[in-house]
Structure 1
């Protein structure tokens, strides 16, 4: 264990809608879960006591789970356990009241909200307890609404208003890229914004091939080229574009080209049910004549996921919006070229940053022909694929969770050096009025 020399001794991480204990890729669990989990463990390893506050997902989950020395996850009752993410705004008052009354909440030095609902709760707790709030949005409604997938649902006015208020009321904001930092300052009036990039665990995500089953699982024919999609099956992530890309590549293939296969790793999420869930995607694949070329795998833990990355030829990320893009970073660390949409954080993860080029190709739009054109060279030119793999590995080495935690701690210490926020927030209007005032 490494001890910290700063002023932060205890941190409260708020993750209302999903727990770091949940498997990424299932339900609403994704990059946020991975981020909170690694940050919490890294802080605890530095001698910081960490309390994670999240919503109770089922009646049989213990009130508190001790994950490691100094790291506890507390489950707060807030609405029915089965309530979908889209309904949780109605239960934020209950979550806030549960958190404010929790004995651990009164002991933390700083709250760190993850996602807008957690920021809403943290802002109220900040006023009640006088505890500073650091906020990470993970996704922003304004950016998501500006690039909606076909059939996707716009984020509601409530979220837009809440994010705008949190951006100006939080004591500090952590953004994953300079692009999001600039957006928060320019479009949302945020002042104290710090760029802290997420990391990748290079002890897990690396080019070492140590899972012999992975090629057979992805490619039972052994002679096919494999395209891999990893993520929640929802319109935002564009799994339908992945299927259409497979069809475009198959349609234009030469007679002597190896067969192609697309494997999607993840589960349906949100409004993806009945649209881009496995039955919906298989129906699309059948319509395009490639149903026999498409396979599905359930979400996997990091060790197994790394093996799947290594066994694939190209990883597809046709997202309509990404705050960062951990999948692209993990795939690059494993030496697999990535073809992704040129949006948000993907531009930062795959593009040239500080002279280091990413290991893949950015595509300007969601045209399957454009995606196919970007994928094809990696399938046909081994030297090009090897060069991209080497670039990706170099790029990934510049992102570590150790650096993420170190920089996050610096933000906490800076906020605490400016004093607790009871007086700072006393003259501000409430975040909302009503039952949980």
Structure 2
């Protein structure tokens, strides 16, 4: 039974050490977790739970506090050099971050924060120390797991270090509640980290259905001029192929893309983990067998180098040249969420050959826009994508399998719109309001259990 609202936390301290919610997703280490934190914080605030997000200051020019949304405050904590630190360098700065968090906490009246919610293992390390010191519950979301990532490394990728594995093990033992994106991730927490089943809660991430939907008006209309999809469509939230076709045509016109093209899109951070090379090799194989497709094929990569991809930022460009397909490949820097929605709408299909995904927010965003997905059958993608209905799940990373999947869309151009309509309907089951409600329930359970043990909050 969900507790009365009065017993839920009034204010939550949220930790995002290595990446700021103010950063542009698709750049550096900013990605799906940034979107997750921003959207969750906004929806929690709308439910009456204030959120203060603590993140590492990456510039001396940053103000100490920034209001992200009503009821959501971002606090910049000075910890180590502002610039020049990779994510791998940050464990050495965690003591400094913890000290900065302690100072910010000490400046508030007792009981100002009711609960700590940390994201990713770096934040969890700080969170377990701070929660113990202040006697408040710790709720932690891993987002990715080192042992799972290391078990599915891409060729040439760098394994996660032992310090992370040890850190995650300590966090699992210390957290009052662990939030997993899917049942599979919950099982991985139990299997690889011996997590207590009673402390693991499954909460699916969401999608902003006011931004991502089959919308012929698109980003140029502005969020205030676009109707909510539920309000705009007749019947019980219907999306038909005609709406998808119109949305796609309008988005292609806005982006300057050919109307009759086959457009397999890659969107996200450019790094081996995400498998962008698999898509390039699949396209090369497709053209080797179907050279007549070259004149109507455009393959956009929307995003920037990240993680181990920063070591060879030009690697994907060189691979495209070596494969002889630079004429069909389009590299585009990261874009804001409204413009990203147009790239989704314009695509025939989104391709996600990831080696590991805790969920796959990009897949849900694309489907919400009426675009089917070809994805690896890994992690949370079988939950995000309904195989055979809203997309195609590929068992592995053989480019030949992805080439065959793309060929089916080339042979049946109407297939993209048919599956896209089903994809949009499927994506409506993932809303951030539901994510926030479930997360608030997890908070309530953690607080109740802490108080039952006499720990207070």
What TM-score do you get using the length of structure 1 for normalisation?
0.91
- Going from structure 1 to structure 2, the CA distance change for 1:104 and 1:68 (only over 3 Å counts) comes to farther
Tell which deviates more after alignment, 95-104 or 213-222.
Answer: 213-222
* Number of the residue aligned with 2:386: 351
Tell me how far apart the structure 2 counterparts of residues 29 and 119 of structure 1 sit (CA, whole Å): 18
Which one of 317, 330, 335 corresponds to residue 365 of structure 2?
330
User: What's the CA shift string for 1:179-237, capped at 9, x where partnerless?
Assistant: 00111122212121000000011111111122487425756454431111001111111
* Number of the residue aligned with 1:129: 134
* Number of the residue aligned with 2:55: 54
* Cα RMSD, aligned residues only: 2.1
Tell which deviates more after alignment, 94-103 or 205-214.
Answer: 205-214
Secondary structure of the corresponding residue to residue 292 of structure 1? coil
Correspondence 1:172 to 2:177: yes
Corresponding residue pairs, total: 417
Tell me how far apart the structure 1 counterparts of residues 323 and 336 of structure 2 sit (CA, whole Å): 31
Unmatched runs of 5 consecutive residues or more in structure 1: 426-437
Tell me how far apart the structure 2 counterparts of residues 256 and 338 of structure 1 sit (CA, whole Å): 20
1:270 Cα offset (Å): 2.0
Tell me how far apart the structure 1 counterparts of residues 143 and 293 of structure 2 sit (CA, whole Å): 44
Does the Cα contact within 8 Å between 2:275 and 2:354 map onto a contact in 1?
yes
Which one of 326, 329, 353 corresponds to residue 291 of structure 1?
326
- Going from structure 1 to structure 2, the CA distance change for 1:368 and 1:403 (only over 3 Å counts) comes to same
- Going from structure 1 to structure 2, the CA distance change for 1:219 and 1:250 (only over 3 Å counts) comes to farther
* Number of the residue aligned with 1:309: 344
Tell me how far apart the structure 2 counterparts of residues 140 and 156 of structure 1 sit (CA, whole Å): 12
Does the Cα contact within 8 Å between 2:154 and 2:275 map onto a contact in 1?
yes
1:256 Cα offset (Å): 6.7
Tell me how far apart the structure 2 counterparts of residues 325 and 74 of structure 1 sit (CA, whole Å): 27
1:69 Cα offset (Å): 2.4
* Number of the residue aligned with 1:208: 215
Correspondence 1:241 to 2:274: no
User: What's the CA shift string for 1:88-114, capped at 9, x where partnerless?
Assistant: 011001101110121359621000010
Does the Cα contact within 8 Å between 2:279 and 2:351 map onto a contact in 1?
yes
User: What's the CA shift string for 1:237-260, capped at 9, x where partnerless?
Assistant: 111112112111111115377521
* Number of the residue aligned with 2:93: 91
User: What's the CA shift string for 1:33-91, capped at 9, x where partnerless?
Assistant: 00000011111111211110000011100111122222111000111112111100110
Tell which deviates more after alignment, 99-108 or 16-25.
Answer: 99-108
1:385 Cα offset (Å): 2.3
- Going from structure 1 to structure 2, the CA distance change for 1:163 and 1:423 (only over 3 Å counts) comes to farther
Correspondence 1:361 to 2:392: yes
1:85-124 aligned within 5 A: 85-102=87-104, 103-104=107-108, 107-124=112-129
- Going from structure 1 to structure 2, the CA distance change for 1:117 and 1:396 (only over 3 Å counts) comes to same
Secondary structure of the corresponding residue to residue 144 of structure 2? coil
Unmatched runs of 5 consecutive residues or more in structure 2: 221-249
* Number of the residue aligned with 1:154: 159
Tell me how far apart the structure 2 counterparts of residues 237 and 421 of structure 1 sit (CA, whole Å): 43
User: What's the CA shift string for 1:302-350, capped at 9, x where partnerless?
Assistant: 1111111111111111111000000000111111111011100112111
Does the Cα contact within 8 Å between 1:173 and 1:194 map onto a contact in 2?
yes
Tell me how far apart the structure 1 counterparts of residues 326 and 255 of structure 2 sit (CA, whole Å): 15
